[in-house]
Chains A and B, each alone.
Chain A
Amino acid sequence: MTTTTTTTQPTELDDVRAVTATDKRRLQRKELWRNRSLVLPAVIFLILLTQIPFLTTIGFSLTKWNLLYPNERAFAGFDNYTSALTSGDLWPSIVATVLITAFSVTLAVLFGLLFAVLLDRQFHGRAVARTLMITPFLIMPAAAALIWKYSMFDTNIGMLNWLFRALHLPVVSWSTEHPMMTVVIVLTWQFTPFMMLILLAGLQGQDKGILEAAQVDGAGTWRTFTWITLPHLRMYIEIGVLLGSVIILQVFDPIAILTKGTGGTKTLAYLLYERAFIGLDVGQAAAYGVVTVILTIIVATIALKSVFKVFMAGGSR
């Protein structure tokens, strides 16, 4: 952008004209539009794919429309929102979603960190160990929930209870007595490998020289880990937490298969499913959906602006 030397002798006058404010702005704008036009197809595609369904959903949410009464479709105003906000289902559902997401993500990060640190070392069969560790994340969520339901949690044939029996401990009825823990265990199991992969990438990107320097300075393993490795991993942990939360917020399978939404496990996704597919109330389900979207935007905006360093201005890093 700055003036470059040209073969012809530049006069002072030429230079002045080239950098007049209006010209510069025009040039910038032109470039800006070229850049924009390159992104435009993708943006249009995105709008078609996301915003039109969203508008349709808003339209549905203002309609009285229950699939069981196909002939009684009419404009309902904000009735669906009123019933969604006053029915008393929304708040417990938000609490369930937040708790399940928070517990699962936290535990998955902790276990993921542990396994990442272990896998960061050199040992025989590391590749095999890594592949085996990743497997839970590759299993379909519904299949994972079924595996846990029958071969782990079951009171008669489940391995956990077999273990408890062998240790002469009382048998635990997982889905009945500890529904939330049941769901969190399955989710943690599934998402630990995900966190592990991200954190392992972080660990392997760490400058070994710094670690050696710390060693030379006499820092022990724990001090090196907490003062050098952890701060270095912060960005990776943040990405892991963000991506993990986005995925787990929408979790459905383990709840549908293990607890059917009982005992404080009725997340927003499951509540939406119930309203849409069991209540068959399209209008109300859409209203719940819109409320969920608004809440998500508010939370996401605040979280991204204040908590996650990753998305802040690059200056601090």
Chain B
Amino acid sequence: MLANKRMLALGTGAVAVAMTVAACSSGAVQSGGGSTGAGGGSVTLNVATVNNGQMKDMEKLKTEYEKANPGTKVNFQVMEEGDLRAAVTADVASGAGQYDIVTIGAYETPQWGSNGWLVDLTPELQSDASYDVNDLLPPVRDVNTFDGKLFAVPFYGESSILMYNKEVLDKAGVKLSQNPTWQEVADAAKKVNTPDRAGICMRGKPGWGDLFAPLTTVVQTFGGSWYDSSWKATVNTPEWKEAVSFYKKMLDDSGEKDPVSYSFNECLTALKEGKAAMWADASVAASMLEAADSPVKGKMGYAHMPVNKTKESGWLWSWNLAIPASTKQKDAAVKFVKWATSKDYIKLVGTKIGWSNVPPGSRTSTYELPEYKDAAKAYAPITLDVMSSVNPKQPGVNPQPWVGIQYVSIPEFQDVGNQCAQLVADYLANRGTIDDALGKCQSIAQQAGDKHKK
């Protein structure tokens, strides 16, 4: 009897071990096997992309590419931003070779390029005159260059702007200038806030690419920064406290009701449905608000990202296509990347899907296309204006030891940003104090900063 009992306990223990370990080990080592063979002249390209509208359009248009290149099949794996980043980093870092083309942010390009994880695209692109690599917007090209090599090509670039529903603001008698301050915006949001329409929608979903994209720019314009020039973390400073408590107060007074659930896509829906009057977020959103099927098309006004102590506070971001060095189909991948970032692709989107859906912020020539100028007249000039006036070398009041605005381009930042975002989310949800959140965040940030001290 006793022996039986023990055997059972042992057996169940072993099963528990097996299950937990299976879960752990599949997390630790990604096995490959995603990309299919290139035999027989047919090629399958696996593309990992982010679930934003522009990328979904590319998925729709892939048949055009497959038609023009018989034998090539393009598989899209569309993921949410955070999931994409995790999946792609694990795949590329472990060299598993599951993806042939990956969508990466400006944050990753220089780091991954320096690790040797990406194929250097400079020779392929410069040798092709029809591709016209110099047409790519200079600031966006710069953030994707490391050591003089272009490791990724921008698919679209964006800054952040303030978007507001003109009808709602006019009714409330609120006027905003082209360069508003955060205080003006918070006051305006309070005035137009009603029980079933938020005055302003801001990201609150924990995640360094979610909550901390806009929040970092707010911190910077309030005079704060993640690190000083000697990589000392500066999170528990009065500037941070002022900025984060301002963000919370604005959300409490007139923000959306469930901030922890809200990021880009949720705010976009809220604006379209008339459930929010203002929104400060990625400039690329403007093209979605002005799309043909948008209920608020033509009703929106646009302004520079609100400021406090700095002149500009827009961020600079680009989603780029890059080719992992682990791919087995480099030539086919390069061909597809060139197609998806070419001038012709932009025209293809314009004619097939709509001129307001054209991926912005990647090529100068886009802003010279008459059809695009006409379709995007509400926001194209301001997008180009903001994107050329932001300074990724010193976005805040004080100098910083990295290039980049709403992120710190060190590998640890996604972890630091993520943990801090959860702490700040607890503060936003009234579960913790700001001092506690920023104090813990300071020590997390300092640990990461220590690795980069000279």
Contact = CB atoms under 8 A, between A and B. Distances in A.
Interface of A: 46, 49-51, 53-54, 56-57, 60, 67-70, 149, 153-157, 171, 173-177, 179, 246, 250, 258-263, 266, 269, 272-274, 276-280, 282, 285-286, 289-290, 292-293, 296-297, 300-301, 304-305, 311-313, 315
25 contacts: A53-B22, A53-B25, A54-B21, A56-B25, A57-B25, A153-B258, A173-B259, A175-B260, A176-B429, A177-B429, A246-B19, A258-B261, A260-B205, A263-B260, A276-B27, A276-B28, A277-B27, A285-B27, A289-B21, A289-B24, A290-B24, A304-B12, A312-B5, A313-B1, A313-B4
Contacts of A258: 261
B22 A263 contact: no
Contacts of A171: 257
Contacts of A263: 260, 425-426, 429, 431
A293 B16 CA distance: 7
A163 B370 CA distance: 49
Contacts of A277: 27, 86-87, 89-90
Given A69-B411, A296-B16, A60 B28 contact: yes
Nearest to B275: A156
Given A173-B258, A179-B260, A274-B418, A156 B20 contact: no
B210 to A, nearest CB: 8
B19 A250 contact: yes
Contacts of A272: 23-24, 27
B130 to A, nearest CB: 37
B90 A67 contact: yes
Nearest to B266: A154
A156 B269 CA distance: 10
Interface in B275-323: 275
Given A289-B24, A304-B9, A175 B4 contact: no
A290 B429 CA distance: 33
B8 interface: yes
In the A-B complex, the 10 residue pairs with the closest CB atoms: A289-B24, A50-B18, A68-B411, A173-B258, A67-B93, A277-B86, A155-B257, A53-B25, A176-B260, A54-B21
Nearest to B411: A68
Interface in B135-157: none
B20 A292 contact: yes
Given A176-B258, A179-B260, A280-B89, 14 more contacts: A50-B22, A67-B94, A68-B411, A156-B269, A176-B429, A179-B429, A262-B429, A266-B422, A272-B24, A277-B86, A282-B29, A289-B24, A289-B28, A304-B12
A49 B207 contact: no
B256 interface: yes
B93 A155 contact: no
Contacts of B242: none
B90 to A, nearest CB: 6
Report the interface size class on chain B: 35 or more
B12 A300 contact: yes
Nearest to B425: A262
Chain A facing B: main interface SS = helix
A198 to B, nearest CB: 18
A243 to B, nearest CB: 11
Contacts of A300: 9, 12-13, 16
B29 to A, nearest CB: 8
B452 to A, nearest CB: 12
Contacts of A156: 196, 269-270, 273, 275
Most chain A Cβ neighbours within 10 Å, of B23, B28, B206, B258 = B28
B18 to A, nearest CB: 3
B14 to A, nearest CB: 7
A171 B256 CA distance: 11
Contacts of B258: 153-155, 173-176
B369 interface: no
Contacts of B257: 155, 171, 173, 176
B81 interface: no
Nearest to B115: A70
B326 interface: no
Given A67-B94, A280-B90, A305-B9, A57 B24 contact: yes
Given A246-B16, A260-B207, A292-B20, A311 B5 contact: yes
Contact of A286 (B28, B429, B431): B28
Contact of B21 (A50, A149, A177, A311): A50
B59 interface: no
Most chain A Cβ neighbours within 10 Å, of B14, B111, B258 = B258
Given A173-B257, A179-B260, A262-B422, A57 B1 contact: no
Nearest to A287: B24
A124 to B, nearest CB: 41
B261 A176 contact: yes
Contacts of A266: 422
A261 B412 CA distance: 19
B379 to A, nearest CB: 24
A313 B429 contact: no
A49 B5 contact: no
A54 B1 CA distance: 30
Contact of A297 (B16, B89, B111): B16
A287 to B, nearest CB: 10
Nearest to B18: A50
A157 B426 CA distance: 24
Given A154-B261, A155-B258, A296-B16, A278 B86 contact: yes
